[in-house]
Amino acid sequence: MDGSPHVSKGSWFRFRYEECVDTPNDTRNALLVVATVITAVTFQSGVNPPGGVWQDDTNGHKAGTAIYASRNVAFHVFLTSNTLAISSSILVLMSLTYKFPFYLELLAAILGMLVTYASAVFAISPDESVRFGSVLGAVAVPFMFRKVKGKKKMYCSREVLASLEQLEGDRLHLFAPWFLQDKENRNSHCAAKTPYLRFKFIEYCFERDSLSLHRKG
C-alpha cells in the first residue's frame, strides 16, 4: 500500500495533480490547454458582450455600445471579472512558454490581442458606465500577485543563506540555493525543527554530494 492519501471514486479530487505521477511536461501541457481555453472564452466575451450591441442611436444610446451596459453595476462587474480572467490566463501562457522557440513572436501576438481586447472594451462601453481604473487594476492583479510570490521566495532563499553561517562565496553558501531548488530537498529542509538542524542537513548533503563526485572523479 502506498503512502498517498485515499481518494474515493466519487471525490471531485480523484484527478488532482500528483507530483510523483504527473510529469512536468504533462502538467505544462494541461495548463496550456486550460489557459488557452480561458483566454479564448474571455476574449470573445469582451469583444462580443452578452446581449450584443445597439444597432441605432435612438432612445439615448449609441450604436455599437453594449446593451448590457444599461445595467451599470452588473456590466462593470462583468468587465472587471472578465479582464481579470484573461489577464491571469495570459500570464500563465507567458510563464509556460518562456524561452520557447518563437517566444518573442508569441509575445507580440499576445500584445496585439490585448490591444484588440482593450480597444473593443472601450468601443462598446459608454463613457459613464465603466470605471476604467478598476478594469486596468484587474489587468495588473495577476502580475502583482506573481511578483509578491517571487519576492517571498527570494526572501526565503536569503534567510536560508543567512542561516548557513558561511562567508558569501564559500562553496557551501553557493551550494544551498541550487540544492533547495528541488521540492523534496526543500521539504526535508523545512522538516528540521531548528536553524541548527537545517544548517546541518544542508552541510551533510553538501559533503555527501562532494564525496560522491570525488569518488566518480
Q: How would you class 43 by CB atoms within 10 Å of its CB: exposed for 0-12, middle for 13-18, buried for 19 or more? A: buried
Q: Which amino acid is at 17?
A: Y
The helix/strand/coil state of 139 is helix
CB 78 within 8 A of CB 131: no
pLDDT digits (tens, 9 = 90+) for 163-201: 555 444 466 666 777 777 777 777 777 777 677 777 777
Highest mean pLDDT among 5-14, 78-87, 166-175, 178-187: 78-87
- Spans of all domains in the chain: 24-140, 154-216
DSSP 8-state secondary structure symbol assigned to residue 138: H
**Which grid cell is 87?**
489577464
pTM: 0.60
Q: What band does 42 get if pLDDT is binned at 50, 70 and 90?
A: very high
The pLDDT value given to residue 29: 87
d(CA 198, CA 160): 9
* Closest to 139 in 3D by CA, of 160, 169, 114: 114
Q: Phi/psi of residue 63, each to 5°? A: -65, 135
- pLDDT one-digit tens code per residue, 202-216: 778 878 877 776 666
